[in-house]
Amino acid sequence: MMAGYPPLTASPAWNALASHHSKVGDLHLRKLFADDPKRGERMAVEAAGIYLDYSKNRIVDETLTLLLRLADDCGLRARIDAMFSGEKINITENRAVLHVALRAPKEASIVVDGNNVVPDVHAVLDRMTDFSNQVRSGAWIGYTGKRIQNIVNIGIGGSDLGPVMAYEALKAYGDPALTFRFVSNIDGTDFAEATRDLDPAETLFIVSSKTFTTLETMTNAESAREWTLKGLGGDVSAVAKHFVAVSTNALKVSEFGIDVANIFGFWDWVGGRYSLCGAIGLSTMLAIGPRNFRSMLEGFHEIDEHFRTTPFERNLPVLMGLMAVWYNDFFGAETVAILPYEQYLKRFPAYLQQLTMESNGKHVTLDGKQVNYSTGPIYWGEPGTNGQHSFYQLIHQGTRFIPCDFIAFVETLNPVGRHHDILVANVLAQSEALAFGRTADQVKTEDTPDWLVPHRVFEGNRPSNTILLGRLTPNALGKLVALYEHSVFTQGAIWHIDSFDQWGVELGKVLAQRIIPELQSIAKPKLQHDSSTNALIARYRKLRNQ
Ligand code: F6P
């Protein structure tokens, strides 16, 4: 599949971009703005309530023309159509990639293996709705007759990061009577701290795992079952009242002892990191209520449609994805900073790390050939303005080139005093400072002694996108996440990689399974690793007196 494309670096648009970069790569944003007084208005697109200002990027009009040509050369249009029509574009796992079906309206039809999956999606959404209503209203009661007050999601990776991010992002829409916790790490501290102050009689666990085999999740789920049974007198029938599961693996769920009636299913065509809109979002729905959850899905869907149908030159995710490729492959940028000026989005960078890096951290093309260009950059970030007082120094004056995405909202959900205008002034100031900097001449006019001038110079010409939305609603969150999902898709299509598998996480899992008994066995194990790993295992055993 897709083997018909020439190697990326041989494509005419790629080569045109390389020589274009040698001509325009050093142009300063100061000059680009001075030469075109309307640049800041011209290089902006608004769609679905998202305003993307991309004018502070190191591009000229021709850059975009060439990037759009690259998208055509790489068959982006066909790739998008293939995804939306349910083709098995995740070729290494022979799976369709249909997170877009999770937010498709009821009347839509998306066929996988001859079956329209949309009715199945809505059947699960309806069950989630019914369950959420029962828990939120107090109709669902625990084993001892008490109502559920605490909800603990147990999952990791995509079965955790989406739920945590969305819970934090939409806290303002949550039911304050319910307490939510998220347990992911195999480190027992995570479970212990999450449950320390909870009453088992009032606690519901959602065991979220696509495969229902993930070591961390299964170990935490077992501890949760023990904790529940210990707290409730040991009657195993209590499990049915205090555990539900979200999984594609009904057999494993029932082996664990969770009632099949309490399984919320999804499908192999939903990747873990793309699963928030389905049953993995159960904790989100419980927190914000079914109506808000559906509004979030509508937000996702609006951007899905925008991505699917809008010409590329006005297509937000396509533009963002192409600019990411421009920096990654032609400027050699190693990273992208995600800087939300919205405290509720504090887990958004962590969420994007899995989305972007598990998707596009690949070293071979779809046809298995080693790439000779860089693929997925490192995504990282923190909310503003906190980051300004920590790592922004390096972005402004360090030796690295770090494109930034600033995310801001016109309205705050907490209108406290003057805070919001100050917050927004800061985000605008940061992108301005990064782009235009401060020259030595400017610094000298401020009575700076000569020796200090170089320290106070800001080179500028450090690029950024500014993404501006109205207000952080469930709907807006859906749009924002979908924007990045499809930007990731765009990047993966250009790099001609499988953005939907994650073989890179397997080896460590296998090796850990071999080491666990070597740490635990009473008899001294015969260690056959490298000398470093052998010595570390021996030392651990010795210090634990084994
Ligand atoms: O370790 C990688 C991974 O497979 C992720 O892709 C996934 O989101 C996570 O583990 C959790 O998997 P599961 O939902 O099957 O427990």
Would you report the helix, strand and coil content of the chain in percent, each value rounded to 5? 55, 10, 35
Whether residue 294 is predicted with pLDDT greater than 60 in this model: the reply is yes
b/e for 511-522, b at 16 or more Cβ within 10 A? eeeebeebeeee
Whether residue 434 is predicted with pLDDT greater than 90 in this model: the reply is yes
pLDDT band for 1, please (50, 70, 90 cuts). very low
CA-CA distance, 244 to 225, in Å (whole number)? 11
Active-site pick, 302, 358, 485, 518? 358
Ligand 1 centre and the CA of 248: distance in Å? Answer: 12
H helical segments located in 466-546: 474-495, 506-520, 531-543
Nearest Cα residue to atom 16 of ligand 1: 209
Ligand 1 centre and the CA of 345: distance in Å? Answer: 22
Three-state secondary-structure class, residue 47: strand
Active-site pick, 23, 230, 509, 524? 509
CB 359 within 8 A of CB 398: no
Nearest Cα residue to atom 8 of ligand 1: 158
Q: What is the share, in percent, of the chain residues with pLDDT greater than 90?
A: 98
Under DSSP, the state recorded for 157 is G
Return the bridge partners of 12, or none.
none
What is the model's pLDDT at position 405? 98
Mean pLDDT of 1-11: 73
- pTM above threshold 0.95: yes
pLDDT band for 160, please (50, 70, 90 cuts). very high
Q: Is 219 in the pocket of ligand 1 (CB under 6 A)?
A: no
Q: Is 273 in the pocket of ligand 1 (CB under 6 A)?
A: yes
393-424 pLDDT, tens digit each: 999 999 999 999 999 999 999 999 999 999 99
442-477 pLDDT, tens digit each: 999 999 999 999 999 999 999 999 999 999 999 999
CB 14 within 8 A of CB 73: yes
Whether residue 206 is predicted with pLDDT greater than 50 in this model: the reply is yes
Catalytic status, residue 389? yes
What is the model's pLDDT at position 6? 75
pLDDT band for 542, please (50, 70, 90 cuts). very high
CA-CA distance, 295 to 289, in Å (whole number)? 10
Q: Is 210 in the pocket of ligand 1 (CB under 6 A)?
A: yes
For a substitution probing ligand 1, which of 156, 164, 220, 513 has the most ligand atoms within 8 Å of its CB?
156
Mean pLDDT of 253-260: 92
* CA-wise closest residue to 182 among 201, 200, 207: 207
Question: Where in 393-463 does DSSP place strands (E)?
Answer: 404-409
What is the model's pLDDT at position 115? 95
Q: Is 275 in the pocket of ligand 1 (CB under 6 A)?
A: no
Q: Which residues contact 418 (CB under 8 A, 6 or more apart)?
A: none
pLDDT band for 545, please (50, 70, 90 cuts). confident
- The ligand 1 atom at the shortest distance from the C-alpha of residue 159 is 14
Ligand 1 centre and the CA of 375: distance in Å? Answer: 21
Q: What is the mean pLDDT of the chain?
A: 97
What is the model's pLDDT at position 26? 98
Nearest Cα residue to atom 9 of ligand 1: 157
b/e for 140-153, b at 16 or more Cβ within 10 A? bebbeeeebbbbbb
Active-site pick, 389, 455, 526, 542? 389
84-98 pLDDT, tens digit each: 999 999 999 999 999
Ligand 1 centre and the CA of 216: distance in Å? Answer: 10
14-60 pLDDT, tens digit each: 999 999 999 999 999 999 999 999 999 999 999 999 999 999 999 99
Under DSSP, the state recorded for 10 is G
Nearest Cα residue to atom 10 of ligand 1: 157
Ligand 1 centre and the CA of 269: distance in Å? Answer: 14
Catalytic status, residue 509? yes
Q: What is the share, in percent, of the chain residues with pLDDT greater than 70?
A: 99
Q: Is 157 in the pocket of ligand 1 (CB under 6 A)?
A: yes
Q: Which two tokens stand for residue 433?
A: 């400072």
Q: For strand 111-112 and strand 115-116, is the pairing parallel, antiparallel, or unpaired?
A: antiparallel
Residue 529's identity, in one-letter code, is H
pLDDT band for 546, please (50, 70, 90 cuts). low
Ligand 1 centre and the CA of 159: distance in Å? Answer: 7
Q: Is 10 in the pocket of ligand 1 (CB under 6 A)?
A: no
Ligand 1 centre and the CA of 215: distance in Å? Answer: 10
506-527 pLDDT, tens digit each: 999 999 999 999 999 999 999 9
Report the run of H or E that residue 191 belongs to, with start and end. Answer: helix 188-195
What is the model's pLDDT at position 4? 57
CA-CA distance, 33 to 43, in Å (whole number)? 11
Nearest Cα residue to atom 6 of ligand 1: 272
Q: Cis omega before residue 92 (within 30°)?
A: no
Catalytic status, residue 216? no
Q: What is the 3-state secondary structure (H, E, C) of 233-299?
A: CCCHHHHHHHEEEEECCHHHHHHHCCCHHHEEECCCCCCHHHCCCCHHHHHHHHHHCHHHHHHHHHH
